[in-house]
Structure 1
Amino acid sequence: MGEITEEIVPLPQVFYEQPTLELAKALLGCLLVKETSVGMAAGYIVETEAYIGPGDRAAHSYNNRRTTRTEVMFQRSGLTYTYLMHTHCLFNVVSGGKENPEAVLIRALEPRYGIEIMKNRRGLEDLRSLTNGPGKLTKSLGITMEDYGHTLTHPPLYIAKGLSPDSISAGKRIGIDKSEEARDYPWRFWVTNNKYVSRHQKSIYVY
């Protein structure tokens, strides 16, 4: 990755209005930031997954499934979609535009700011293990279900410009084996050879 060229400023609304697959790649290298009473914690996004409902069987919004949980996916792009998976809170960026329920799951970060805060929250010293998974990164940054619906263009939870990946790999998404043909879509993207990626697999495409 290259060097930071700008101060930490939330990305504008227009950034989130690009097509979901493009957004999932564009988010790589961006800085995900959460400000709390104990300070700021942030990390570079190194892994994402795109979910393109209603035609994507792996998406919560498949077949236009509109529930209390998925309601925010039907709103404008650039909002926060958090949901619980077992005991873990997972963080997604709403995309696709109003009434077009799509989202990008953030799967892993490379820790950058507030590392001691992250270590205290996780009870860990191993830097790699702090944020190399979707449930790990939310706990490390302090992202919770209370962030559901938050607009990502302003604090306390936002995404800023970060570093540009030298190479992006793409492959199958993880943990969706029962989603029929959707399990084979190459809609998982990661920074090639980054050690903070949650799971390494053979890439189908390299950008």
Structure 2
Amino acid sequence: MDPALQRTRLAHPAVEVAPLLLGAHLTHDDGSEPVTVRITEVEAYMGSEDPGSHAFRGQTARNATMFGEAGHLYVYFTYGMHYCANVVCGVPGHATGLLLRAGEVVGGLETARRRRGNPRSDRDLARGPARLAQALGIDRNLDGADVFSDRLQLVLPEHPADPLRLQTGPRVGVSGPGGSPAYPWRYWLSGEASVSVYRPAARPRTARLARDTPGSAGTPRTSDTRKP
């Protein structure tokens, strides 16, 4: 399909695009062996209307890519050790995007295994957003990269995910209201071994101590685990 037409299909709010990205193939060719992942799980982030989004409080140098044209990668560094990749959706200025949470490596297995340190099971090669980025060889150097280019190639399925297989629920590891059932913006395909395990946001240690101290009236505080 024409890249311009594919980009048009992404130029809608992330919650509308999410079912279309499930089953899509993303290939990264860094000049060695291309690696391709079939996407099986994503999370939608909706900019200024989403308390779980990096863009909730507006544009910064870090999240500027989110405010740009659909069809580009927003890549961020997290926990001081991992990269996560998102596909920008919507129209410029709205900062909506889809976190690539999990997928199945369907091309370039040997390179993906090497990048991931040869995990025990191929199921785990791209099971989780940091693993997926690592398997594909994605880092901050690809922030802003066009996913319809020679280096990165996103191929969308002809039709959105089968409604009978499409599952939704709260997002993984998002603190505060954005991680609640009020934001069921995690999407995945049922029956896929590569889909990650749901985990709520970790309660900060100070909050756990307050909760566990007899007679304490401390109010738990949430850490900043907002995502794109």
Q: Would you call these one fold, judging by a TM-score over 0.5? A: yes
In structure 1, give the amino acid aligned to 2:137: G
Identity across matched positions, percent: 31
Q: 1:141 to 1:98 in 2, by over 3 A?
A: same
Shift of 1:161: 3.3
Deviation at 1:162, TM superposition (A): 4.8
Tell whether the 8 Å contact from 1:42 to 1:114 is kept in structure 2 after alignment. Answer: yes
Match of 1:156 in 2: 151
Aligned equivalent of 2:67? 74
Q: Is 1:47 equivalent to 2:44 in the alignment? A: no
The residue aligned with 1:180 is: 177
3-state SS of 2:29 partner: strand
Larger radius of gyration: 2
1:141 aligns with 2:141: no
Q: For 2:178 and 2:187, how far apart are their aligned partners in 1?
A: 18
Assess, with a 3 A threshold, how the Cα gap between structure 1 residues 163 and 15 changes in structure 2: closer, same or farther: closer
CA distance in 2, matches of 1:198, 1:32: 18
Map of 1:34 onto structure 2: 28
Shift of 1:12: 2.3
Letter of the 2:180 partner, please give it: R
Verify the 8 A CA contact 1:30 1:163 in the aligned structure 2.
no
1:130 and 2:112 matched:
no
Which moved further from structure 2: 112-121 or 192-201?
Answer: 192-201
Q: CA deviation at 1:116?
A: 0.8
How far, CA to CA, are the matches of 1:131 and 1:14 in structure 2?
Answer: 27
State the match for 2:109 in structure 1: 115
1:200: how far off? Answer: 5.4
Q: Does 1:22 align with 2:4?
A: no
Q: Take 1:141 and 1:95, find their aligned partners in 2: how far apart are those partners? A: 20
Amino acid at match of 2:132: L
* Closer, same or farther: CA 200–83 of 1 in aligned 2, 3 Å: closer
Change (3 A) 1:131 1:35: same
**Partner residue of 1:103 out of 97, 101, 110:** 97
**Whole-Å Cα distance in 2 between the matches of residues 193 and 48 of structure 1?**
15
| Deviation of the 1:129 alpha carbon | 1.1
> Using the alignment, how far apart are the partners of 2:21 and 2:34 within structure 1?
20
Instruction: Name the amino acid aligned to 1:129.
Output: D
Query: Deviation at 1:43?
Result: 1.2
Secondary structure of 1:154 counterpart: coil
RMSD: 2.0
Decide whether the 8 Å contact of 1:33 with 1:40 is kept in 2. yes
Question: TM-score, normalised to structure 1's length?
Answer: 0.86
How far 1:163 moved relative to its partner? 8.2
Could you list the runs of 5+ residues in structure 1 that have no partner in the other structure? Answer: 1-5, 202-207
- Give the number of the structure whose residues are more often strand, by fraction: 1
Higher relative contact order (CA closer than 8 Å, sequence separation 6+): 1
- Contact between 1:46 and 1:191, CA under 8 Å: does it hold in 2? yes
Q: How many residues were matched structurally?
A: 192
